[in-house]
Structure 1
């Protein structure tokens, strides 16, 4: 793995807590990657996520598109987002890294932080926008910003388009894998860890495609119903952190321990919450055929090797959850408009093509989907560097 272009650790003078920023690579002088907040966040974690963003950007490179992928970066803050001091800490962090946000790092919501919260804190920190570094690359900045703002104002059945875009991509990745294996959607069971932005949207799209979501895990435990959960009711009953109000459960819904989602009878597991959720210890409990990584880095490498030996396929995060980032840029650069139907059509088409290419490369090379993703990135990064120059 290459050394990142920039790596820094910031210590808050008020709380003593730390924040991190890693810029893995620049393309046209800009890098893209969200800002997360979670207790225990580390510099190594943020560096891995930044490298993942470089890969996500490269995987969506289309020389004919108006959106040209950026470099990869990531920010992280070691704090529980529910902590009363969290918002003030977020503002001070953004104020400290303001020169990077202004010049080269475009950021937004990630684990523990909503886009609304990032936007509010960015304004308080004196920033024009959390993505202002990309503005000089736009043909018509005012039209592009208006288009993105319009897209963020769109709601579909009570959920914002910005929240649904990533889940649409995750769901399409899972459906593409099922289609490749000729597995019908009806009767295919799904367990989802996390009912936040990504997990909630994924559960909705998979349910509407005909799959059965039998389990959802949140911070309070696992909600299980072998006949299928009422996903829409659970989405309505969740709070801002994805925790479901148990009073909304039906009589047949059961409450199980937090890690029960791993070992339930389900063909598809969707870890959509924290990193490092599946390790060498708990992987042996998994009975699913596919793990679809909606979260960033949820399966540890050693666990993935053991799962592969048992015939469990892991669809990697750098592909599966890349739809959110790509949707932002497709909209901003003008490859799509601000309407939901156009967005979903473009996301589905792009993600299906990417996953099909991934699976074909893995089969041809005799490797895992993750190794195939790395191979695709290795093919594309030199092409991007040749076209736009090398910033390393």
Structure 2
């Protein structure tokens, strides 16, 4: 997919702290763009621009002309601040107040790196917004019923974890399993290392462990926890704080504490970067021994590193496919393709992700390209069909 200038790019400077926030709208479909809001130190306009373009691609890859949910455009927001810093919540409220005209009109947003949906909902209410996704409401056939269905879905818990926190990880895990099945690799004995044990990484680890894979390493802000015999994923999840940091008192005698980047060189077949962007660069890629890197985070592998990895036979399954189920689950539920039921949601996610991964890998084989290039090719074919149906801006 050829890079082009986004439809709108905005830099906001907080009048209290001088910190910057960003909003990039890559494309509108039916007058609306969808994409989360992240908060992290060092967040840049360039980063948010790439994420917004990725959201356009995720929406297009899930285009089904027969579904009730039809794609929106892509957008993204970002705030350059540590979410743990004093005053971070107040900064979030001021950002949302400044972005209120856009959120009310055409930007539908939600949780991303550093922010939970609960926190965004609370800050949005304080900023005077009806909802962080209210721009979508005019597109609904029955707004009251749709909003109740989504609220009911957010209230569903599975083994103590909210369905909204599990949907994305289910999609990532299914992408891993689809790749293993295609290669004829059995689940038992397949080892996984996960960077990040927040919403996406934690759910991915849970689904993969329950499928029979062995999670041998997880990394959080304090470092890497490793055990070649396998970690107790459920115990680690139960010992997390709100930022995905594991209480080390929960570790077992065989668990080892290693440096934060040790997950990269874990003796594992699958690496799942599920935390920050730009996690794997050219200086890191030579340490990787895995056969697959599955991008649960947005933009974790830098392009040059991916090129070098491909030359060594390492397959990168790209973020625009792998982590797209989070966004799609919201809209499948809101528009009524699925109900507020965990089993129905998981079945739909698994079926859809299996089909999408297969389509991408088939295209990569046919074109002799990487999975990312194949995903971009699929987007390039689908965007004109979406534009022909809905126009560029309406």
TM-score, normalised relative to structure 2: 0.99
Q: Please name the residue that 1:80 is paired with.
A: 82
Describe the SS at the equivalent of 1:20: strand
The C-alpha deviation readout for 1:221-254, integer Å capped at 9, x for no partner, is 0000001000000000000000000000000001
Q: Per-residue deviation at 1:2?
A: 1.2
Q: Please name the residue that 2:145 is paired with.
A: 143
Q: Which runs of structure 2 are paired with 1:211-222 in the superposition (5 Å)? A: 211-222=213-224
The C-alpha deviation readout for 1:66-119, integer Å capped at 9, x for no partner, is 000100000000000000110000000000010000000000000000000000
Q: Per-residue deviation at 1:264?
A: 1.3
Q: Per-residue deviation at 1:298?
A: 0.2
Decide which of 320, 328, 336 is 2:330's aligned counterpart: 328
Structure 1 stretches of at least 4 aligned residues deviating more than 3 Å after TM superposition: none
- How many Å separate the matches in 2 of 1:216 and 1:189? 12
Q: Which runs of structure 2 are paired with 1:165-314 in the superposition (5 Å)? A: 165-314=167-316
- How many Å separate the matches in 2 of 1:198 and 1:313? 20
- How many Å separate the matches in 1 of 2:381 and 2:185? 31
- How many Å separate the matches in 2 of 1:87 and 1:257? 30
The C-alpha deviation readout for 1:134-178, integer Å capped at 9, x for no partner, is 000000000000000000000000100000000000000000000
Q: Per-residue deviation at 1:372?
A: 0.2
Q: Per-residue deviation at 1:220?
A: 0.6
- How many Å separate the matches in 2 of 1:203 and 1:231? 7
Describe the SS at the equivalent of 1:97: helix
Q: Please name the residue that 2:123 is paired with.
A: 121
Decide which of 55, 63, 66 is 2:65's aligned counterpart: 63
TM-score, normalised relative to structure 1: 1.00
- How many Å separate the matches in 1 of 2:389 and 2:65? 10
- How many Å separate the matches in 1 of 2:138 and 2:151? 18
Matched, 1:316 2:318: yes
- How many Å separate the matches in 1 of 2:278 and 2:167? 24
- How many Å separate the matches in 1 of 2:161 and 2:99? 31
- How many Å separate the matches in 2 of 1:366 and 1:106? 37
- How many Å separate the matches in 2 of 1:264 and 1:76? 31
The C-alpha deviation readout for 1:296-343, integer Å capped at 9, x for no partner, is 000000000000000000000000000000000000000000010000
Describe the SS at the equivalent of 1:4: coil
Unaligned runs of 5+ in 1: none
Matched, 1:371 2:373: yes
Q: Please name the residue that 1:107 is paired with.
A: 109
Q: Please name the residue that 1:6 is paired with.
A: 8
Decide which of 358, 361, 364 is 1:359's aligned counterpart: 361
Q: Per-residue deviation at 1:391?
A: 2.0
The C-alpha deviation readout for 1:51-71, integer Å capped at 9, x for no partner, is 000000000000000000100
Decide which of 6, 21, 24 is 2:23's aligned counterpart: 21
- How many Å separate the matches in 1 of 2:271 and 2:46? 26
